[in-house]
Structure 1
Amino acid sequence: MAALISTTDTEAQSSGDPSSKRGGWITFPFLMATLLGLSITSFGWVMNLIVFLIEEYNIKNIAAAQISNIVNGCFSMLPVVTAILADSFFGNIPVISASAFISFLGIFLLTLITSFDYLRPKPCETGSILCQSPSKLQLGILYAALALVTTGTAGTRVTLASAGANQYEKPKDKGSFFNWYFLTVNTGAIISATAIVYTQDNASWKLGFGICAAANLISFFVFISGKRYYKHDKPMKSPFTSLVRVVVAATVKRKAVISSKEEDYHHNELIEEAMPSKSFRFLNRAALKVEGDLKLSGDDSFNNIWRLCSVQEVEDFKAVLRLIPLWLAIMLVSTPIVVQASMMILQGLVTDRGLGPHFKVPAGSLQVITIISACIVIIINNWLVYPMYQKLTNKPLTPLQKVGIGQVFTILSMAISAVVESKRLKTVGNEHPMSVLWLFPPLVIVGIGEAFQLPANTELFYGEFPESLRNTATSLTSVVIGISFYLSTALIDVIQRTTAWLPDDINHGRVDNVYWVLVIGGVLNLGYFLVCCWLYKYRNLKNDDQEQDP
């Protein structure tokens, strides 16, 4: 039967028959099993990376947090590169296959590192502050492993979502798939933040990484075993080419006089277009028809694509420009979240993590509180909060309003973190250190903020970006988070250089002051964000009342 399906599919594809039986719900178990295995793998090593660097490589606390932020930045930004490669050159299926294998090589190398003592420095002697630093060779092997597993994981993040959605024709089926996609990713994250991190802390790093390697290998074989059923998307030309063409054409014709007549502009015959908008008027020259815009080839003439663009292409480029100020505001609010995530692990290491006589909360598992909180609030928002708001006001919350609400919760979380850390510092030297449970409230609140703003960020970019860039637009939230990791690394470095707030032993520092700096920055950024919202006009919201978010 499988052979018959494969033969039929091949014939249908080769003949261009649109009734090909590839795709549909038969691909669902393969894609979800692959996603679950890769999620367990990726979260299994990245969530406990700071503790791994401190315990196994004798790296100082703050330096370990900065290395983790750099790795997480790559982890978040590379999906855009792979999305472009998949959309423009190779397609999703080959990129997922290659990335899953590269990820396996990286996690397997991490497992080898924890299996052989000569690949790591000797552990610190108990009670001694003198520890052996890792050699250049040991660091080189570590960084090679991190580079492989980061690249591989990033290559499957966005492409698995796009490949899964491409298997379905009906919007309802696509929506159902995305719900399952989100649930599966968070299930993998919760398993990693609890079972895998607990294994690493209480059994061995070798067993923890070994389980991740096994999950990755199984998911790789599951994915390639379902290739006969997948609907393969065809790579298209780079969607960024048209954006570059607009800049080139407008620059070449920078001396041309802008016309107020519609017939003087080039229009796409397949799309009903009007006059170019008045904003960014310089770019309107890209669609202005002037002498020299035609190329001659024998008896025929055709448009020079680097001198003449359609009005639609010009407006698409303007849409991207209008989103840049909002993109900056969203990026700046993600930076405090990243700093908080790093500091919480360091705080967790110096609190009483015992819950009962036999269980100790792993510091790397603290972020599971944020994940669970975000999942619960997203469900509550979709089923209760958003429908109730729409019923009371007769209009839905816009994406920017949701992002603004999320920013308020983020600022509140930073303020509570500052108060909690101030209280913790007063308990230093006491017989009983502060319980780790005090760290839970700010993590819950930041999870509430993420539940509002992260889905809304994706909704905003996907809805407002040009259609040709929508696949890439869905990955821009990941880019924002990636840049935030680098900004947080730079911020921590500046604070370390200019103050005494972040020593290697945070019991002698003032992490609470760091949180207050984040609160002040968050308030300033919220003001900037509100100004951007006031000036921004949606392209694709039908209700005129929703054009602005005052």
Structure 2
Amino acid sequence: MEDGSGTKKREIEEGQHRESERDEEKWVYDSSVDYKGRIPLRASTGVWKASLFIITIEFSERLSYFGIATNLISYLTAEMHQDLETAAKNVNYWAGVTTMMPLLGGFLADAYVGRFNMVVFCSLIYLVGLSLLTMSNYIPRLGPCPDSPSCKSPSKTHEVLFFLALYCISLGTGGHKPCLESFGADQFDDDHPGERKKKMSYFNWWNFALCCGLFLGVTVIVYLQDHVSWGVADLVLAVTMAVTIVSFYCGKRFYRFRLPEGSPLTPLGQVLVAALRKRKLRCPSSVDDLFELTRAEKREQGRLLQHTNRLRFLDKAAIMDERDRRAPEGKRNHWRLGTVTRVEETKLVMSMIPIWLTSLMFGVCVAQSSTFFVKQGQYMNRKIGKSFQIPQASIYALAAVGMIISVTFYEKILNPALRRSTGKERGLAILQRIGIGMIFSVVAMAVAALVEMKRLRGVKEGIVPSVFWLAPQFLILGLGDGFTLVGLQEYFYDEVPDSMRSLGIAVYLSVIGGGSFLSNFLITIVNRMTREVGGKSWISRTPNTSRLDKFYWLLSAMTVLNLCIYVLVARNYTYKNVQRNDVSDYKDIEGVELVT
């Protein structure tokens, strides 16, 4: 029989457990703070009430980016009189820089500035770029041809101001894109089951809003560019951005903030150095023999990761030798001894490299939609009825439609069905979702090649086909975006160490940037080889004198090969495994003033 003292002890423990659960439900113990630097109150901060402000400014940014990017090749060829190859390369260079800059912005935000501050600062730089674009087209003396409407090359002043404006937008995007999306995901507590499930939906609805901005950018904004003026279109974008910056700042009291923790790359370097120093030691057979955090250090670092058996060499960094044991607790040299969590974080980052590399071909396929696909539309019949003509860049809206369909289908039908059938919180594994989208990209490139073959036959026969012939390739690529791009966003946010999530989103964006640079490299190589072997380049001044169909077949074949490699990498991947921290580990944290 159990005595009275034992019963009383159990009742006290159960009461403490219930109190802990109530406390956890009231407060958010995930290392975030509110706008006054205190532990956030769950009921009044975060989740959708905060995310809606964040999604609004993302809508504005995507409206601006795609309103400019999809019609940029038309502006460069029509207004600045560049040939197709030069214009395509300039578009790809700008897109590449724009999507690689977030690596710098994400690093600075995670290490020193904070995500909120970086978003506000870089949004203002973005606004400066839009204002300069407006000036370069709205003020006559700064226009491409200030003296003659029929000049064959733009004025030097316009050229400098135009590209300065474009790369101001690149710089603004460098801090805006990685920090805004990760800041939105920070509004959901990973340790709270309800909020964790909502965060999975957040990435889907984030991309839904993104596609709405894209759709309006390539329809309304492009229509203004083609039928009113580029200056008026740029003015609309600048005003919209200014309004949403104010709106974003007004939501400040609802946000949950993550304070910068110093360079997220330093702990990774420490683990690598420590593992190299102890490379001659034998890996222990039990994880209990590896060093882990003390209670105080645990509270400082946040969530802990469980040990995995991949990349066992790095485990040597967590082995305590005699020198480490003699060191006073709390003063151990991190360049000699790492914790299990730091070792696992390093393993995560190293395991991401093959995923990133095998995602680049998808970025190459995406790059074609804003360059060659759009340019093909210029040489096709774009009339609806007798008088209305669709702007050539507006056909890109079909990619947004495809992505909206894909995301909605996944969120409302496919994922709930898979959750019910498998009993898993995430119906479809992240890497499976990415792989499905890659299959769509293979099909899209093959369809694009078939359509271009038929279009070129029509050109020889004097037939101008409808621009809607391009609809299938845009729609299929958009469907693939709903799987691969959303999956990559979720992957590079969830799987990176908690301290480098802005940098994680930046790495996702670098897939698109790397794809643009790789596309440029392929264009150069293909041009050189086809000119030397066949005497005529596949990519000439216009699509009618080019063989883009052969280029698309090449991309389709390369994507198939890449997909095979991706499947091998994904099958052997081990996902992040988090230990849940106790609420008691955070109860004595003192609030830190938030500098904004």
Q: 1:158, 1:475 within 8 Å by CA — same for their partners in 2?
A: yes
Q: Say whether residues 1:386 and 2:409 are aligned partners.
A: no
Shift of 1:426: 1.0
Separation in structure 2 between the aligned mates of residue 55 and residue 330 of structure 1, nearest angstrom: 33
Alpha-carbon displacement from aligned partner over 1:486-522 (angstroms, at most 9, x marks no partner): 1111111211222211001221111100011011101
Tell which has more relative contact order, 1 or 2 (C-alpha 8 A, sep 6+). 2
Structure 1 pair 340–123 and aligned structure 2 pair: CA distance change class (3 A): farther
Q: 2:306, 2:578 within 8 Å by CA — same for their partners in 1?
A: no
Name the structure 2 match of 1:507: 544
Separation in structure 2 between the aligned mates of residue 274 and residue 137 of structure 1, nearest angstrom: 55
Q: Say whether residues 1:399 and 2:430 are aligned partners.
A: yes
Alpha-carbon displacement from aligned partner over 1:119-171 (angstroms, at most 9, x marks no partner): 45449999x9xx73346554332221111112213322232233344456661
Q: Say whether residues 1:222 and 2:253 are aligned partners.
A: no
Name the structure 1 match of 2:164: 144
Corresponding letter in the other structure for 2:402: S
Q: 1:267, 1:273 within 8 Å by CA — same for their partners in 2?
A: no
Structure 1 pair 397–431 and aligned structure 2 pair: CA distance change class (3 A): same
Q: 1:294, 1:302 within 8 Å by CA — same for their partners in 2?
A: no
Corresponding letter in the other structure for 1:35: E
Shift of 1:223: 3.1
Alpha-carbon displacement from aligned partner over 1:516-544 (angstroms, at most 9, x marks no partner): 101110111122122223333444499xx
Shift of 1:345: 0.9
Q: TM-score, normalised by structure 1?
A: 0.86
Structure 1 pair 459–274 and aligned structure 2 pair: CA distance change class (3 A): closer
Q: TM-score, normalised by structure 2?
A: 0.80
Aligned-partner SS, 2:321: coil
Shift of 1:467: 3.6
> Where do 1:150-229 residues align within 5 Å?
150-167=170-187, 171=195, 174=199, 178=203, 180-227=205-252
Q: Say whether residues 1:530 and 2:567 are aligned partners.
A: yes
Separation in structure 2 between the aligned mates of residue 36 and residue 289 of structure 1, nearest angstrom: 51
- Once the two structures are overlaid, the 10-residue window that deviates more, 206-215 or 334-343, is 334-343
> Where do 1:356-367 residues align within 5 Å?
356-367=385-396
Alignment: residue pair count: 526
Separation in structure 1 between the aligned mates of residue 470 and residue 519 of structure 2, nearest angstrom: 20
Structure 1: gaps of 5 or more residues: 1-11, 543-550
Aligned-partner SS, 2:381: coil
Separation in structure 1 between the aligned mates of residue 282 and residue 178 of structure 2, nearest angstrom: 43
Name the structure 2 match of 1:460: 491
Name the structure 1 match of 2:586: none
> Where do 1:109-508 residues align within 5 Å?
109-122=132-145, 132-134=152-154, 137-167=157-187, 171=195, 174=199, 178=203, 180-227=205-252, 230-260=255-285, 264-270=289-295, 278-293=309-324, 302-389=331-418, 396-499=427-530, 500-508=537-545
- Once the two structures are overlaid, the 10-residue window that deviates more, 360-369 or 176-185, is 176-185
- Once the two structures are overlaid, the 10-residue window that deviates more, 57-66 or 260-269, is 260-269
Shift of 1:33: 4.1
Shift of 1:104: 1.1
Alpha-carbon displacement from aligned partner over 1:404-428 (angstroms, at most 9, x marks no partner): 2222221111111111101111111
Alpha-carbon displacement from aligned partner over 1:249-308 (angstroms, at most 9, x marks no partner): 1223334454446565322235799996554333222112224447868xx872011111
Corresponding letter in the other structure for 1:507: N
Separation in structure 1 between the aligned mates of residue 577 and residue 254 of structure 2, nearest angstrom: 35
Separation in structure 2 between the aligned mates of residue 390 and residue 32 of structure 1, nearest angstrom: 26
Alpha-carbon displacement from aligned partner over 1:2-47 (angstroms, at most 9, x marks no partner): xxxxxxxxxx976846559974566566445433333322222222
Shift of 1:113: 1.0
Shift of 1:199: 0.6
Q: 1:352, 1:432 within 8 Å by CA — same for their partners in 2?
A: no
